[in-house]
Structure 1
Amino acid sequence: MLKNQIVEGLEVFSCLPAKKTKRPPVLFVHGAFAGGWMWTETFMPFLAKAGYPCYAVSLRGHGGSHGRDQIDWHSVTDYVDDIGTVVDWLGETPVLVGHSMGGFIVQKYLERHPVPGAALVCSVPPQGLIAAQFHLMFQKPQLFMDINRIMSGNYPDTEILREALFAGEIDETMLAAWLDRMQPESHRALWDMSMFNLPNLHAMHRPPMLILGAELDVLVPAFLVQTTGQTYGLPTHIFRGMGHAVTHEKEWPLVAAALQDWLAEIRP
């Protein structure tokens, strides 16, 4: 059963197995313009059914968490601190799963803390956002401008959102709900991810890592996901025919199953 609560000002969703298990908890970290809600309808119940206690945080300024009015001032370091707050509340170190910006934050968290495992899903690479931004600007200049409009609180229509996040057939009701829940992102955090606060690869703990991407992702293209894999000396799994929002593509269970298979090899 899905539960929603506030932990030191942060919205935390939980979805627990029907019976207690010895499997490690999983903490999901959302991407830019989103919130913990993006995990609640798909990955969390899928993995809870497999025996994993699942949690998802809405970073400060997102979803139902505090700091919405000051979102432009929140930094990547602030978001890393939010993960630490939830980990302390859990009382047990979870496996971290980060999507897009969330994957970048997970990498920054690893500078300070060890974890049993870390999964990067369509993640901003350790080299930052610059390459992705230039790729989008040259490949899809109109979409690049439309996405930048979100920064000012001007939300795109469903067709623009569809092009940015999805590649396959999608449910129109879900698309409208996603659009309704989108929000501005911190300018400061985006600059941090671009050049000012990139992961310190020499300081990072190196737990077992899973690196997943999507073939038709226009926001974090597959070649950048492969760059992340090369940086960490790990293979990558690129899902064919999918876009950036792999949590809600029609074939999202394939991605969740890959995550489950990898989790089965993790030891707390």
Structure 2
Amino acid sequence: MNPVLEVIDKGRCSEAHPAPLLFVHGGSHAAWCWDEHFLDFFADRGYRVLAPSLRGHGSSPTSKRLLTCSIADYVEDVCSVANNLTAAPVLIGHSMGGFIVQKYLQTHSAPAGVLITSTPPHGHLGAQLRLIRRHPWRSVRSLILGKTSILFCTPDLVRESFFCAHTPESIVARTTARIQDESPRAIALDMTLLNLVRSKDVTTPLLVVGAEEDGTYSHAYVRATAAAYHTEAEFFASVGHDMMLEDGWRAVADRVHTWLGSHGL
């Protein structure tokens, strides 16, 4: 049986914006990351917005150990929320959540999708190797213990991967306190080898955005994601990987809003 997920649900669909927006969080995060700024921003503009916490994240339960949860499990979670809506949602995914959105769109239709500093369709291996080179002993401990949070357990480590150098300490500290373990199965196996995206099967129009100061995914990764879907990546200055939590979040939200409007959404 699918777990009953925590879902933050705000606003309502309007004549101007008939499609709900379904936000999918990245690894080691939960629905809270969208609720800081983005959900109210879009709800105030006439959208219904929903942000689930994937199983084992936030307040969402899981019927099996988190370390064995797969990308397919997470896609199933997204389906469980989308299938209960009266209209097909726009999917907006961050990091691992962007990868999950791409996997969902392989087999489901949607009016549009937005990939924010997303894992590329070819996977996470390059970023994982870069993190191992930066922190070899922490990476070994994380792998042995099955606890990815070892890699993000201090404000300095969180800033390095998720924020830019000038992000206020208060934002970094608040995020550090909320970072949790992620499934090694999903990160180290599915997103590197076992369950990569068949981008040719995705026909949904996509907006692909990246951060100029992303400590997780390089510009080349973001451009590769855009190229896979025959579009151009758009980069935002003075923000890091967690664009929706940075001081510059509004510029990103404004661009998503404008792009959705250009697609009649």
179 and 145 in structure 1: CA distance in 2 versus 1, 3 angstrom threshold: same
Q: Tell me the SS of whatever aligns to 2:130.
A: helix
**What's the counterpart of residue 102 of structure 1?**
97
**1:59 is matched with which residue?**
54
Query: Partners in 1 of 2:111 and 2:155 — Cα distance?
Result: 38
Decide which of 192, 195, 198 is 2:196's aligned counterpart.
Answer: 198
Q: 99, 109, 113: which one pairs with 2:108?
A: 113
Measure the CA separation in 2 of the matches of 1:22 and 1:245: 29
Shift of 1:142: 6.2
Which whole-Å CA distance do the structure 2 matches of 1:77 and 1:165 have between them? 25
- Cα deviations across residues 213-246 of structure 1 (Å, max 9, x unaligned)? 0111121112100011111110110112221010
Specify whether residues 144 and 263 from structure 1 end up closer, same or farther in structure 2 by C-alpha distance, changes over 3 A only. farther
Cα distance in 2 for partners of 1:219, 1:147 equals: 20
- Secondary structure of 1:34's match? coil
Cα displacement (A) at 1:143? 9.8
The answer on whether the counterparts of 1:170 and 1:249 sit within 8 Å (CA) in structure 2 is: yes
CA contact (8 A) 2:70 2:186 kept: yes
The question of whether the paired residues in 2 share the 8 Å contact of 1:246 and 1:255 is answered with yes
Name the counterpart of 1:28. 23
What is the distance in 2 between the residues matched to 1:143 and 1:41?
33
Quote how far apart the aligned CAs of 1:168 are: 4.6
The reply to whether residue 169 of structure 1 matches residue 166 of structure 2 is: yes
Contact 2:208–2:222 (8 Å) recurs in 1: yes
Structure 1 gaps of 5+ residues are 1-6
Could you list the structure 1 runs, at least 4 aligned residues long, displaced by more than 6 angstroms after superposition: none
Alpha-carbon distance, 1:113 to partner: 0.4
Query: How many percent identity over aligned positions?
Result: 35
Aligned to 2:246: 249
What's the secondary structure of 2:114's corresponding residue?
strand
Aligned-partner Cα distance in 1 for 2:247–2:137: 22
Distance 1:192 1:148, change over 3 A: same
Aligned mate of 2:8, from 4, 13, 24: 13
C-alpha displacement of 1:207? 1.2
CA distance in 2, matches of 1:54, 1:234: 25
Aligned to 1:4: none
For 1:248 and 1:76, how far apart are their aligned partners in 2?
24
How far, CA to CA, are the matches of 2:168 and 2:39 in structure 1?
A: 19
The aligned length equals 259
**Aligned to 2:106, what secondary structure does the other structure show?**
coil
CA distance in 1, matches of 2:217, 2:75: 21
**184-193 or 8-17: bigger deviation:** 8-17
CA separation in 2, counterparts of 1:30 and 1:86? 14
Deviates more, 1:236-245 or 1:93-102: 236-245
Aligned 8 A contact 1:136 1:144 in 2: no
Contact 1:35–1:58 at 8 Å: present in 2 too? yes
User: 1:27, CA displacement in angstroms?
Assistant: 0.3
8 Å Cα contact 1:136-1:218 kept in structure 2? no
Counterpart in 2 of 1:134? 129
Indicate the SS of the match to 1:264: helix
Q: Deviations over 1:175-221 (max 9, x none)?
A: 2221221111011111100111001233x231110000011112111
Query: C-alpha displacement at 1:147, in angstroms?
Result: 9.9
Letter in 2 for 1:113: H
- 2:237 maps to which residue? 240
Amino acid at match of 2:174: A
TM-aligned CA deviation for residue 68 of structure 1: 7.6
Give the aligned residue type for 1:170: T
Q: CA deviation at 1:135?
A: 3.4
Change (3 A) 1:195 1:264: same
1:223 corresponds in structure 2 to 220
